[in-house]
Amino acid sequence: MERLLLLLLALPALPALAQVDSLQQPPDATQQIVEDFLQNTDSEGAFDFNTIFEELQYYQENPINLNEADEEELQELQLLSDIQILELLNYRRMAGGLISLYELQAIPSFDLLTIRRILPYVTIDKGIDDYQLSIPRMMAEGQNELYLRWSRFLEEQKGYSPLEEGQAAQRYLGDANQFYLRYKHAYSNKLSYGITAEKDRGEEFFTGSNRQGFDFYSAHLFLKDYNRTIKAIAIGDYAVSFGQGLILFSGFGAGKSSQVMNIKRTSRVLRPYTSVNESNFQRGAAATLVFGEHLEVTALASYRKRDGNVLEPDTLDVEGEVRQISSLDIDGLHRTPNEIADENAIGQTTLGGRLRWKGRRGHLALNGLYEQIDADLTLRERPYNRFYFSGNRLLNGSLDYSFTFQNYNFFGETAMSDNGAIATLNGLLMGLDRKVDLAVLVRHFPRDYQALFPNPFAETSGARNETGVYLGLEVRPLPHWRVSAYFDAWQHPWLRFNTDSPSRGYEYRARLTYFLKRDLEVYLEVRDETKEQNIDKIDGKNNFTLPNRVFQTRLHLAKKVNKALELRSRIDVGFSENEVNTTQRGFVVYQDVIFKPLSFPFSFTTRFSLFDTDGFQARYYSFENNLLYTFSIPAYYNRGTRFYFNLRYRGIRNLTLEARIAQTYWKNQNTIGSGLEEVAGQRRTQVSAQVKFKF
């Protein structure tokens, strides 16, 4: 009776919750996580893992059943925090299945903003995924998707300009066009196979070093949840994630963000690989098998060619000595003779396994990973990299866990590298009250811990030379209001790149959000970070290791004018300062217009932004809507404007056509970019187009 009464009370909200767009953009909360990711890594430009939102499209057409989904399936949505997942599972255990989606309001930590975010992707109705079909039938009855994408800059960059007489500098060997092709066949979310190919700007195409066509090819065959024993089989290219990322975590792993409770790494162990990042995947075969109710075993084997900077042999070396490389290249660019010389220079073998015990309230898993490259990694000696991995073999092992007790979720991972160094990360998510959630995470990565591709929650990359404590808090004091905040403090006991002494830092962030049904969302945010690093004195040649502070405030407003039109406005203001240089200040203002009528074939999104900062240290990142399933996050700095316009046409069944133009104008500089990417002038314009065909 209590549940029925709650449902009746929720009915007035039903019309507002029930209106769903036919073609969803990535949810705002997830966009902000990606924004924060690049802010924390000091990166900009297009995001490499451009299929991060791909599964959301599947769940829009085949919603997750909230009455049957387990923890892993709910985590795959990437729209719920782990404390929300925990409380949903607890609610199901105590009250049984949901009568209606609007009963979600009875679950602690599920406010209207969360429910509105997940509504297009969830259901309480039983679907067809429970029925087992043969593999040939799934191949015959599945759905096919074909993507063709093109992009280029209109202004000539230095890498494409002809050399002057007598000049010996390098130039790009290919043209300025970027091409992308992807074909994928999928039946439900159980079977998929396909091929992905890409040519980056500047790379040759059907000529020179790429007579086979594209510079990068990737293919996969993936079977998921086929029966009670076969949980996953991967052949070709696939992604692997173990535990909290101390030894291996492929794909996107969010760190500190405005979603302050999302600190736990959550991902299936095996996933098909369909991205164009050319370094962070495995190539070979892998499988996850389930034995009984509690035991799960994963095994993987991979061999693939890798880019590496091969060192010239010493004429005094003994004949037959193993080759040496100074680094493993991860950018995947092969545009110049030097870059082409490093392409597929070495081979990498990866063998690994995972033994997982899973109970009703959690799991315990033992992970192992062996990496071997057919060259000795010999780093150029620098004080900061004294404890980095070198050689050609590396063995890692780890133990990871996650257990729940009432409204508490304990999780973590402890790992060892074959030099004996031990790294550990442990966290606790707590639902203290219907209106209060708390997250705590403690990490310790020794300076000599070694892993090739770790990706844990951390201030810096590499899972080494860092000790820190994170506290996150989310409070929902009143209907339509949310307060979220975190504080993170860390120290680096040894030197780092661009930091010539042990260092420390701290950061806090707070956000106040007001939302009204589906029509309005406003938030005010403050972010303050202070960390020690090398500071170059502007009027001298010396640098100093000193605290550098970055303070930013943001006011964001999103308003649904009607079913078809949404307006978004934002202003960022802040500064960067240290003891030896003048303070850099600045601001960014932008206006978005999003027009997506449900009964008209054309839709568009556009933005105009104005930025004025004293330099790169006072920069701001903003998520940009792009072509379907792609996105970019540029850094706004110096003085200028930026504009983009995306146009989409869906007037022909199963066909989507898109075009985009984006231009940045810098008022206070006469060139844009550096090196071979340099553009002579104050404008840089990028045009793109994409065709998506389903059949």
pLDDT, one tens digit per residue, over 184-193 is 999 888 899 9
Sign of CA dihedral 250, 255, 258, 263: positive
Q: What percent of the chain has pLDDT over 70?
A: 88
Distance (Å, rounded) from C-alpha 665 to C-alpha 672?
9
Task: Give the pLDDT band of residue 127 (cuts 50, 70, 90).
Answer: low
Question: What pLDDT, on a 0 to 100 scale, did the predictor assign at position 100?
Answer: 82
Is the model's pLDDT at 30 over the cut of 80? no
Distance (Å, rounded) from C-alpha 188 to C-alpha 226?
11
Summarize pLDDT for 600-632 with one digit per residue, the tens: 999 999 999 999 999 888 999 888 888 887 778
Write b or e for each residue in 455-471: b if 16 or more Cβ atoms lie within 10 A of its Cβ, otherwise e.
Answer: bbbbbbebbbbbebebe
Question: What pLDDT, on a 0 to 100 scale, did the predictor assign at position 301?
Answer: 98
Distance (Å, rounded) from C-alpha 674 to C-alpha 689?
26
Angle at the Cα of 382 (from 379 to 386), degrees rounded to 5? 75
Is the model's pLDDT at 597 over the cut of 80? yes
Q: Mean pLDDT across the stretch 418-447?
A: 95
Q: Mean pLDDT across the stretch 677-687?
A: 93
Is the model's pLDDT at 230 over the cut of 60? yes
Summarize pLDDT for 657-679 with one digit per residue, the tens: 999 999 999 998 889 888 899 99
Find, among 483, 401, 471, the residue nearest to 438 by Cα: 471
Q: Mean pLDDT across the stretch 320-348?
A: 87
Distance (Å, rounded) from C-alpha 138 to C-alpha 221?
13
Task: Give the pLDDT band of residue 55 (cuts 50, 70, 90).
Answer: low
Alpha-helical segments (H) within 62-134: 71-76, 82-95, 112-118
